[in-house]
Amino acid sequence: MLKKSLWVAFILICPLLTLAQDDAAVTITVETELCTGVEERMPVGMADQFPSDVGQVCLWSKVLGYTDETIIKHVWYFRGDEMATIELPVRGSVWRTYSYKTIPPEWSGDWVVKVIDVDGNVLKAIPFKVGNGSVKTVVTEKASVEKETTPAAEDLAPAIEKAGAEAKTEVKTEVKKVEAEVEKIKDSTTTGQ
Protein backbone atom coordinates (compact mmCIF):
# COMPACT_ATOMS: atom_id res chain seq x y z
CA MET A 1 0.00 0.00 0.00
CA LEU A 2 2.92 2.33 0.75
CA LYS A 3 4.35 1.73 -2.74
CA LYS A 4 1.00 2.63 -4.28
CA SER A 5 0.92 5.86 -2.24
CA LEU A 6 4.40 6.77 -3.36
CA TRP A 7 3.36 6.25 -6.99
CA VAL A 8 0.37 8.50 -6.41
CA ALA A 9 2.70 11.15 -4.95
CA PHE A 10 5.02 10.82 -7.94
CA ILE A 11 2.15 11.17 -10.39
CA LEU A 12 0.90 14.29 -8.59
CA ILE A 13 4.31 15.98 -8.34
CA CYS A 14 5.65 15.45 -11.89
CA PRO A 15 3.03 17.60 -13.65
CA LEU A 16 3.71 20.43 -11.20
CA LEU A 17 7.39 20.43 -12.10
CA THR A 18 6.51 20.48 -15.80
CA LEU A 19 4.11 23.39 -15.28
CA ALA A 20 6.78 25.37 -13.45
CA GLN A 21 9.17 24.89 -16.38
CA ASP A 22 6.52 25.79 -18.98
CA ASP A 23 5.54 28.98 -17.12
CA ALA A 24 9.01 30.47 -17.54
CA ALA A 25 8.82 32.28 -20.90
CA VAL A 26 11.47 31.27 -23.40
CA THR A 27 13.59 34.31 -24.17
CA ILE A 28 15.85 34.16 -27.20
CA THR A 29 18.67 36.61 -27.82
CA VAL A 30 20.81 36.69 -30.95
CA GLU A 31 23.95 38.80 -31.06
CA THR A 32 25.55 39.14 -34.50
CA GLU A 33 28.68 40.53 -36.11
CA LEU A 34 29.48 40.85 -39.79
CA CYS A 35 33.16 40.09 -40.28
CA THR A 36 35.79 38.71 -42.63
CA GLY A 37 36.51 35.62 -40.54
CA VAL A 38 36.23 33.77 -37.25
CA GLU A 39 39.20 32.86 -35.06
CA GLU A 40 38.91 30.94 -31.81
CA ARG A 41 35.09 31.15 -32.14
CA MET A 42 35.17 34.97 -32.21
CA PRO A 43 34.65 37.37 -35.16
CA VAL A 44 37.59 39.21 -36.74
CA GLY A 45 37.56 41.99 -39.33
CA MET A 46 34.18 43.33 -38.21
CA ALA A 47 32.49 45.92 -40.43
CA ASP A 48 29.20 46.82 -42.10
CA GLN A 49 30.86 47.80 -45.37
CA PHE A 50 33.44 45.71 -47.24
CA PRO A 51 35.62 46.34 -50.30
CA SER A 52 34.48 44.76 -53.58
CA ASP A 53 37.47 42.38 -53.46
CA VAL A 54 36.57 41.09 -49.95
CA GLY A 55 36.20 37.51 -51.22
CA GLN A 56 33.88 36.39 -48.44
CA VAL A 57 31.80 37.91 -45.65
CA CYS A 58 30.94 36.02 -42.45
CA LEU A 59 27.98 36.42 -40.15
CA TRP A 60 28.92 35.35 -36.62
CA SER A 61 25.98 34.68 -34.29
CA LYS A 62 25.81 34.14 -30.54
CA VAL A 63 22.47 32.56 -29.67
CA LEU A 64 21.23 32.69 -26.06
CA GLY A 65 18.17 31.16 -24.46
CA TYR A 66 17.27 27.94 -26.28
CA THR A 67 16.77 25.06 -23.85
CA ASP A 68 16.62 22.29 -26.47
CA GLU A 69 18.61 21.59 -29.60
CA THR A 70 17.31 23.53 -32.59
CA ILE A 71 18.51 25.17 -35.76
CA ILE A 72 18.74 28.72 -37.00
CA LYS A 73 19.21 29.81 -40.59
CA HIS A 74 21.38 32.51 -42.09
CA VAL A 75 19.67 33.63 -45.29
CA TRP A 76 21.83 35.82 -47.55
CA TYR A 77 20.16 38.33 -49.94
CA PHE A 78 21.79 40.40 -52.68
CA ARG A 79 19.66 43.28 -54.00
CA GLY A 80 16.56 41.50 -52.68
CA ASP A 81 17.33 38.10 -54.26
CA GLU A 82 18.02 35.11 -52.00
CA MET A 83 21.58 33.95 -52.70
CA ALA A 84 22.10 31.29 -50.00
CA THR A 85 20.42 29.65 -47.02
CA ILE A 86 22.64 27.99 -44.43
CA GLU A 87 21.16 25.89 -41.61
CA LEU A 88 23.18 25.99 -38.41
CA PRO A 89 22.64 23.77 -35.35
CA VAL A 90 22.14 25.31 -31.91
CA ARG A 91 22.99 22.77 -29.23
CA GLY A 92 23.04 24.77 -26.01
CA SER A 93 21.63 27.75 -24.16
CA VAL A 94 24.70 29.78 -25.16
CA TRP A 95 25.84 28.84 -28.66
CA ARG A 96 28.20 30.53 -31.11
CA THR A 97 28.04 29.73 -34.80
CA TYR A 98 28.71 31.37 -38.14
CA SER A 99 28.24 31.13 -41.88
CA TYR A 100 29.96 32.84 -44.74
CA LYS A 101 29.10 33.85 -48.26
CA THR A 102 31.64 34.01 -51.06
CA ILE A 103 31.17 37.33 -52.85
CA PRO A 104 32.85 37.92 -56.22
CA PRO A 105 33.69 41.57 -57.09
CA GLU A 106 30.83 41.81 -59.61
CA TRP A 107 28.36 41.28 -56.74
CA SER A 108 29.14 44.68 -55.20
CA GLY A 109 26.08 46.43 -53.81
CA ASP A 110 23.49 46.10 -51.07
CA TRP A 111 23.25 42.87 -49.09
CA VAL A 112 21.11 41.70 -46.17
CA VAL A 113 21.57 38.56 -44.11
CA LYS A 114 18.68 37.40 -41.93
CA VAL A 115 18.81 35.15 -38.87
CA ILE A 116 15.68 32.98 -38.89
CA ASP A 117 14.50 30.50 -36.26
CA VAL A 118 13.09 27.02 -36.89
CA ASP A 119 9.54 28.43 -37.04
CA GLY A 120 10.47 30.91 -39.77
CA ASN A 121 10.56 33.98 -37.48
CA VAL A 122 13.14 36.61 -38.41
CA LEU A 123 15.24 37.17 -35.29
CA LYS A 124 17.51 39.75 -36.92
CA ALA A 125 18.12 41.31 -40.32
CA ILE A 126 21.58 42.80 -40.86
CA PRO A 127 22.19 44.97 -43.95
CA PHE A 128 25.69 45.54 -45.29
CA LYS A 129 27.38 46.92 -48.37
CA VAL A 130 30.04 45.47 -50.63
CA GLY A 131 31.87 48.19 -52.59
CA ASN A 132 31.31 51.95 -52.21
CA GLY A 133 28.17 53.52 -50.74
CA SER A 134 26.26 53.88 -47.50
CA VAL A 135 24.76 51.20 -45.32
CA LYS A 136 21.36 51.18 -43.61
CA THR A 137 21.12 50.64 -39.86
CA VAL A 138 20.67 47.17 -38.40
CA VAL A 139 17.03 46.06 -38.17
CA THR A 140 15.99 43.85 -35.26
CA GLU A 141 12.64 42.07 -35.29
CA LYS A 142 11.03 40.19 -32.42
CA ALA A 143 10.25 36.57 -33.20
CA SER A 144 7.13 36.64 -31.02
CA VAL A 145 5.95 37.87 -27.65
CA GLU A 146 7.21 34.67 -26.01
CA LYS A 147 10.61 35.08 -27.67
CA GLU A 148 11.27 38.72 -26.82
CA THR A 149 14.96 39.57 -26.98
CA THR A 150 16.85 40.66 -23.87
CA PRO A 151 20.32 42.16 -23.41
CA ALA A 152 21.89 39.12 -21.69
CA ALA A 153 21.16 35.61 -20.53
CA GLU A 154 22.08 36.60 -16.97
CA ASP A 155 18.84 38.64 -16.89
CA LEU A 156 16.92 35.36 -16.91
CA ALA A 157 18.43 34.11 -13.65
CA PRO A 158 16.01 35.92 -11.28
CA ALA A 159 12.93 34.72 -13.20
CA ILE A 160 14.22 31.16 -13.34
CA GLU A 161 15.09 31.24 -9.65
CA LYS A 162 11.63 32.60 -8.77
CA ALA A 163 9.86 29.96 -10.92
CA GLY A 164 11.98 27.25 -9.32
CA ALA A 165 11.20 28.51 -5.80
CA GLU A 166 7.46 28.65 -6.59
CA ALA A 167 7.58 25.13 -8.01
CA LYS A 168 9.40 23.86 -4.91
CA THR A 169 6.75 25.43 -2.68
CA GLU A 170 3.95 23.82 -4.71
CA VAL A 171 5.71 20.47 -4.65
CA LYS A 172 6.27 20.67 -0.88
CA THR A 173 2.57 21.44 -0.39
CA GLU A 174 1.55 18.48 -2.56
CA VAL A 175 4.04 16.19 -0.81
CA LYS A 176 2.56 17.18 2.57
CA LYS A 177 -0.92 16.38 1.27
CA VAL A 178 0.25 12.99 -0.03
CA GLU A 179 2.07 12.27 3.25
CA ALA A 180 -1.14 13.07 5.14
CA GLU A 181 -3.05 10.67 2.86
CA VAL A 182 -0.37 8.01 3.41
CA GLU A 183 -0.73 8.47 7.18
CA LYS A 184 -4.50 8.10 6.90
CA ILE A 185 -4.03 4.91 4.90
CA LYS A 186 -1.51 3.61 7.46
CA ASP A 187 -3.89 4.44 10.32
CA SER A 188 -6.80 2.73 8.61
CA THR A 189 -4.77 -0.41 7.89
CA THR A 190 -3.32 -0.46 11.41
CA THR A 191 -6.75 0.07 13.01
CA GLY A 192 -8.29 -2.72 10.95
CA GLN A 193 -5.75 -5.30 12.22
- pLDDT at site 191: 57
- pLDDT at site 133: 55
**Burial degree of 113 (CB within 10 A; 0-12, 13-18, 19+):** buried
**Burial degree of 59 (CB within 10 A; 0-12, 13-18, 19+):** buried
- Domains annotated for the chain, with CATH where assigned, are 29-146 (2.60.40.1930)
- pLDDT at site 156: 53
pTM of the model: 0.57
- pLDDT at site 14: 55
- pLDDT at site 176: 80
- pLDDT at site 169: 72
45: nearest Cα among 53, 96, 37, 99: 37
Per the CB < 8 A criterion, the answer to whether 34 and 126 are in contact is yes
- pLDDT at site 185: 75
Mark the ranges of the chain whose per-residue pLDDT is less than 50: 19-20, 23, 134-153
